[in-house]
Amino acid sequence: MSNRIRGVLAPVVTPFDEQGKVDLRRFVEHCRWLVANGVGLAFLGTNSEANSLSLAERLLMMEAVFSTDLDTAAMMPGTGACDLPTAVTLTKTATQAGCAGVLTLPPFYYKAVTEEGLYRFYAELIEQVGEESLRLYLYHIPPVAQVEISIPLVERLLKAYPNQIAGIKDSSGNWSHTQALLKQFQNENFDIFPGSESFLLKGLRNGAVGCISATANVNPAAIRNLYQHWHSDRAEDLQAGLDAIRTTFERYPMIPAMKAVIAHWLKDPQWSAVRPPFITLSNSEQRALFARLNELSFNLAGH
């Protein structure tokens, strides 16, 4: 389908207020800034601390962003949950709001589940949502979920639900796996997003449609720039620049690090707040992070 979502998407970080509640004002402001910098919104994903949020909170965040003038066709909210009722509610809400798609984790609490069980979860989700307009993107993140979405499972789901199964975010962190997906589904109506901009150039050269990356929260314009100019002579240099920023953030817990940077550059300390079990970066970690980013001439431009 030519109207499917493409490009760079950010799994939008979730701000919290002084009482530890989701700060909807800061959230919407950050969403607006991301869109202004050319990236789509994959809020309620891993880096949104979505699995530390209640269903009610996630629905409030959906309502807050859907009620703005931001285009839902540039949104791919996370709707995964271990229980089907929650996944169905979130998926139906996003689909009926006109979102380009939903990014859906497998049920991740139980380990060593069968492929048949995973198939039935996704099949039941699609059937219960019951919307022809549903475009579901599988969320493969075994380093965190510890649950694999295998290529045979993708093939089976795609055969059963060719209109609803739209693609996958591969956050395996393993280029060989991403490459295998790209090769296997190159002639299918199935879109593949690497889960890091580290694989953006290689991904695009092999048929990927963009990336969904944590650091798009803080480096959106530069990642978007590579997406737009990956055919150019500068592409390798642009990728190297992205890698340097990404590597810097990966030295720390990613979510607290991104929030610390937003708080620092906005001069808004509340942005550094995280929800347990995460903790904020120590003062020494923050100083080291900011110093290295300054060396790289990093700036949270235009926020």
Q: What is the mean pLDDT of residues 218-236?
A: 98
Report residue 300's pLDDT band, with 50, 70 and 90 as the boundaries: confident
Q: Hey, what amino acid is at 86?
A: T
Q: What does pLDDT average to over the chain?
A: 96
Whether 228 has a pLDDT exceeding 60, the answer reads: yes
pTM score of the predicted model: 0.96
* pLDDT tens-digit series, residues 34-67: 999 999 999 999 999 999 999 999 999 999 999 9
> Tokens for 62?
């959906």
CA distances from 111 to 49, 108, 235, 279 (A): 21, 7, 40, 27
In the predicted model, is pLDDT for residue 303 greater than 60? no
Which helix (H) or strand (E) is 293 found in, with range?
helix 283-295
Q: Is domain 7-232 given the CATH code 1.10.3720.10 in the classification? A: no
Full 3-state SS string of 16-42: ECCCCCECHHHHHHHHHHHHHCCCEEC
Active-site annotation, residues: 139, 169
Q: Are 65 and 43 in contact (CB under 8 A)?
A: yes
pLDDT at residue 2 in the model? 46
pLDDT digit string, tens, across residues 237-261: 999 999 999 999 999 999 999 999 9
Looking at residue 301, its pLDDT comes to: 64
Distance, in Å, from the CA atom of 219 to the CA atom of 296, rounded to the nearest integer, reads 12
Q: Where are the domains of the chain?
A: 7-232
